[in-house]
């Protein structure tokens, strides 16, 4: 006997008001559907099919190699979607068929295992939940422990709408029984569709259908609107954060920490409020991140301090400091003990061990050696209108405030530039490079200016 899984992902998601297929909306950096496929993989099916329709090419492109797409065309309801999947599967007699919606990212593998375990001795079993607000869900009709059928919300009577136990579109069937029930479906409803829920009524009339309640209705919450997407995203975020805190990560306010699923944190890392870590970002032990940090595809080393900063494709070394109000663009690498401070932007730049760019500077396409100091207001003029050029600053160099380094240019080890200089030529090691007009004073200027102002008045 094989376990065959069908994931329903053909719907348009009309209430999302988007051309993006609903199952591709992101939660914690991953599409909705990816979370569901992980849960399904947790029950080790022999085969997994995803039924696609709206945006079929986009959905198919993200599927793992061992998952097959089946196109539902036209899209005539959930029953019709399962018909398309069974046609692609071939013979299913003697097999167990699991059917899962593609928009329930909080669904756990252990819940699906419990559902599959409930099937022996029955022709079908379904997950149910008691919802405080059951609007939009199919109501479960029972007689004691037996499930008699499901009534779709739009077709329910007022008495049936008062039922708070709902079906959550997750089922397991004996294969032959499912195939037979699908053959008995008819589109005799106001949508003109084939409802998979009607198959439950047909199977209940001739055999046993079991309901498997979930303890937490949030686990089976579907996503049909942006409001529900936000709600489910928050629940996923809480689950992620709880896992990291259990592993030794400190969070001052976990409700205000936003982590993608692929982010990696070491025990002892400290996260303050309004931290957003995306992509493949990593944070090492004893690093402090936040408040107000956005980092994507970046690495923050042991003991580093990053606050009020934006990092994109950057590496922050051990004990380095970033911020406040710093922007590290792709290609930035900060060595241990270095500093990029207030209102500093870097791009494709290496800052050596112990070197400092403390404030009000732009370092683009630069290599800074060890123990160098870059004064306030210094910029690298790296773009000539066509090409980018590099600036090299040597070990222990001292760059005076408001220096313009016109690339390509090299500042040697232990060299100094005078404040306010526009450096257009290399400065040798140990030398002073200075370029500015000679200062002069105009005696009595203030009095002369005052007399001119009085005459104009």
Decide if 359 is catalytic. yes
Between CA 437 and CA 416 the distance in angstroms is 18
Tokens of 15: 């209430």
Among 54, 80, 276, 359, the one annotated catalytic: 359
At residue 241, what are phi and psi to the nearest 5 degrees? -65, -40
Three-class secondary structure assignment of the chain: CCEEEEEEECCCCHHHCCCCCHHHCEECCEEHHHHHHHHHHCCCCCEEEEEEECEHHHHHHCCCCCEEEEECCCCCCHHHHHHHHHHHHCCCCCCEEEEEECCCCCCCHHHHHHHHHCCCCCCEEEEEEECCCCCCCEEEEEECCEEEEEECHHHCCHHHHCCCEEEEEEEEEEHHHHHHHHHCCCCCCCCCCCCHHHHHHHHHHHCCEEEEECCCHHHHCCCCCHHHHHHHHHHHHHHHHHHHHHCCCEECCHHHEEECCCCEECCCCEECCCEEEECCCEECCCCEECCCEEEECCEECCCCEECCEEEECCEECCCCEECCCEEECCCCEECCCCEEEEEEEEECCEECCCCEEEEEEEEECEEECCCCEECCCCEEECECCCCECCEEECCCCEECCCCEEECCEEECCCCEECCCCEECCCECCCCEECCCCCCCCCCCHHHHHHHHHHHHC
Where in the sequence numbering do the catalytic residues fall?
Answer: 359
């Amino acid at each position: 006997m094989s376990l065959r899984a069908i994931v329903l992902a053909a719907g348009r998601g009309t209430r999302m008001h988007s051309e993006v297929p609903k199952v591709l909306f992101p939660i914690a950096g991953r599409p909705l559907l990816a979370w569901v496929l992980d849960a399904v993989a947790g029950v080790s099916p022999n085969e997994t099919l995803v039924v696609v329709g709206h945006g079929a090419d986009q959905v198919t492109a993200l599927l793992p190699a061992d998952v097959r797409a089946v196109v539902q065309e036209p899209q005539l309801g959930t029953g019709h979607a399962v018909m398309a999947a069974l046609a692609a599967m071939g013979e299913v007699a003697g097999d167990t068929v699991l059917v899962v919606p593609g928009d329930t990212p909080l669904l756990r593998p252990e819940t699906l295992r419990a559902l599959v375990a409930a099937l022996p001795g029955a022709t079908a079993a379904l997950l149910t939940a008691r919802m405080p607000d059951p609007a939009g869900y199919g109501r479960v009709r029972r007689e004691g422990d037996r499930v008699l059928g499901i009534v779709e919300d739009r077709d329910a009577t007022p008495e049936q709408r008062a039922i708070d136990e709902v079906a959550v579109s997750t089922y397991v069937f004996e294969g032959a029984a499912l195939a037979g029930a699908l053959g008995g479906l008819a589109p005799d409803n106001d949508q003109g569709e084939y409802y998979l829920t009607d198959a439950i009524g047909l199977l209940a009339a001739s055999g046993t259908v079991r309901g498997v309640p979930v303890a937490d209705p949030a686990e089976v919450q579907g996503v049909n609107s942006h409001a529900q997407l936000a709600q489910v995203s928050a629940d996923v975020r809480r689950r992620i954060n709880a896992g990291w805190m259990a592993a030794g990560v400190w969070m001052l306010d976990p409700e205000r920490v936003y982590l993608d699923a692929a982010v990696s944190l070491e025990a002892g890392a400290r996260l303050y409020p309004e931290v957003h870590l995306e992509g493949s970002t990593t944070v090492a032990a004893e690093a402090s991140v936040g408040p107000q940090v956005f980092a994507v595809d970046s690495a923050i080393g042991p003991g580093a301090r990053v606050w009020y900063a934006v990092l994109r494709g950057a590496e922050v070394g051990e004990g380095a400091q970033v911020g406040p109000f710093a922007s590290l663009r792709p290609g930035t690498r900060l060595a241990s003990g270095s500093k990029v401070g207030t209102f500093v932007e870097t791009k494709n730049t290496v800052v050596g061990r112990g070197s400092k760019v403390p404030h009000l500077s732009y370092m683009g396409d630069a290599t800074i050696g060890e123990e160098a100091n870059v004064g306030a207001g210094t910029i690298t003029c790296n773009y000539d209108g066509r090409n980018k050029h590099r600036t090299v600053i040597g070990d222990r160099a001292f760059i005076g405030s408001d220096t313009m380094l016109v690339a390509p240019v090299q500042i040697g080890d232990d060299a100094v530039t005078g404040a306010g200089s526009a450096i257009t030529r290399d400065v040798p090691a140990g030398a002073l490079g200075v370029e500015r007009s000679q200062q002069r004073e105009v005696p009595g200027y203030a009095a002369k200016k005052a007399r001119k102002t009085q005459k104009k008045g």
